[in-house]
Amino acid sequence: MCGIWALFGSDECLSVQCLSAMKIAHRGPDAFRFENVNGFINCCFGFHRLAVVDQLYGMQPIRVKKFPYLWLCYNGEIYNFKQLQKQFGFEYQTLVDGEVILHLYNRGGIEQTASMLDGVFSFILLDTANRKVFLARDTYGVRPLFKVLTDDGFLGVCSEAKGLINLKHSTSLCSKVEPFLPGHYEVLDLKPSGKVASVELVKFHSYKDEPLHAACDTVETLPSGFDLETVKSNIRILFENAVRKRLMAHRRIGCLLSGGLDSSLVAAVLLKLMKEINVSYPLQTFAIGMENSPDLLAARKVAAHIGSEHHEVIFNSEEGIQAIEEVIFSLETYDITTVRASIGMYLVSKYIRKKTDSVVIFSGEGSDELTQGYIYFHKAPSPEEAAEESERLLKELYLFDVLRADRTTAAHGLELRVPFLDHRFTSYYLSLPAELRIPKNGIEKYLLRQSFEDSNLLPKEILWRPKEAFSDGIASVKKSWFSILQDYIDQQVDDLLLEKAAEKYPFNPPKTKESYYYRQIFEKHYPGRSNWLPHYWMPRWVKATDPSARTLKHYKSATQE
């Protein structure tokens, strides 16, 4: 996890523009560098480093003697860089996993490069010999990337939008800052003036397709067929492989643990694999919640079962409320459920940074979207519509859960790892018949739970624990976190303000005092940027007025039985 930033064709003094790059310093607390591009006085790279792999030669932009005309600034981890080296005979000059991007590009161009990378990444690659700039982002957008491109060819690129919004340019303030689409690469021509012109934007991977890099994966061809035992075995093999490849780190590994199915599976498999390779330290797991919240109690059971060094972060409503503004600033969104869920994750990340030496943090993001874990999937009209909804959620992850997970951890200089979004694992799961993936017997993620039933990785009551939204599980059953927030905000927003909300905020107008309150804070820091969120996250197939699972009928009946 790092912060990357680059400008091409700046009309303003670069030393002034570079101040914008300091807005993302939290992403790389270990070192930073600014470097001008030889021969282009108005182009430069900025890099904030979190040293996780190759602490000696890991500074960027990466340049190697073999390709003096290539400049690379990237954020991410490429898990198959050693397999690619073996397959193609690459001669690396550093231990940095990202160096493989230079060798792949030299061998087969940008399309093959992006398609062969097994990992999470966003990168800026400059080829001065052919006067090209390339931008690319991983399939699910686990690593963030934003860009701004003016009509006259000034390009700014950054890990977070906050590093671009104050850039100055002769024709205008840079207003069209937008997220770079996951699973895409862009080719731009670099003119002698340093300005650029976009040539093409290409989708290099669809998450339903088996990735090109599967050919050189450590797991060979899996048994085919959809009989249940084969499917369950393949799910276990691929998930374990997803966790194993993410063990690549020179810094201490930890794991977020809510006590729900997803984080518990990640923690259990992670600890098992760490023991197998004789990692010299115990796995630290981290749970957050208010006193006696469901998450704290469940996480305690899991930690005891797997034998992790468990940490509990207990917070009160006042601490959560006080964090709202800094959380929204970090997130760069005003989505209701994202803000709610981010507060707990932000506070636990703050604790990890201050009180421990864990830096590489595993988490369970992506499972709900992939395995149909949201309560409202019980109301899907058909397996086919449930499958379509699952794919829609995965496509939009970069706007919601993946955004939350990245920003809340990156705000405290931590690196996130999400094995449920492994390319091979997700493409296999999505290839299964739609009727296999739906909730069964009133239980969501039935297939995933079934797959691990005989593994003894988790206590039965955790393996079959019903879905609890992170923003709800951290509070007590009697009073949800969203109710606590709403009670506080009710006193902060006048009824008249809400009545006129649609006039003040015509795009995504707030319908509740809570959404109005978040929008006010967002507009304070990012005025006029409301289009970064195309729509609010809301359940489907139910007449929901609030995104919390606790407002849904299915949840109420389950907790009252």
Judge whether 72 and 88 are in contact, CB under 8 Å. Answer: no
364 is in an annotated binding site: yes
97 annotated as ligand-binding: yes
Q: Which two tokens stand for residue 553?
A: 């009928």
Would you put residue 262 in left (φ > 0), alpha (ψ -120 to 50) or beta? alpha
Angstrom CA distances, 210 to 112, 172, 218, 427, 559, stand at 15, 43, 15, 5, 39
Task: Single out the catalytic residue among 2, 158, 174, 255.
Answer: 2
The total number of residues shown for the chain amounts to 561
Q: Is 329 exposed, middle or buried (0-12, 13-18, 19+ CB in 10 A)?
A: middle
Q: Does 288 count as an annotated binding residue?
A: yes
Q: Which residue has the tokens 């007590």?
A: 476
How far apart, in whole angstroms, are the C-alpha atoms of residue 427 and residue 303? 30
Please give the Cα distance from 523 to 517 (Å, whole number). 10
Q: Please state whether 507 falls in left (phi above 0), alpha (psi between -120 and 50) or beta.
A: beta
Q: Where are the alpha helices (DSSP H) in 205-285?
A: 228-245, 261-276
Which residues, including other chains, have CB under 8 Å from residue 372's CB and lie 6 or more apart?
Answer: 380, 386, 389, 390, 437, 438, 439, 444, 445
Element at 529 (helix H, strand E): none
Confirm or deny that 11 is annotated as ligand binding.
no
Q: Is 44 a residue of the active site?
A: no
Question: What positions carry a catalytic annotation?
Answer: 2
Return binding residues: 97, 256, 288, 363-364
Return binding residues for L-glutamine: 97
Return binding residues for ATP: 256, 288, 363-364
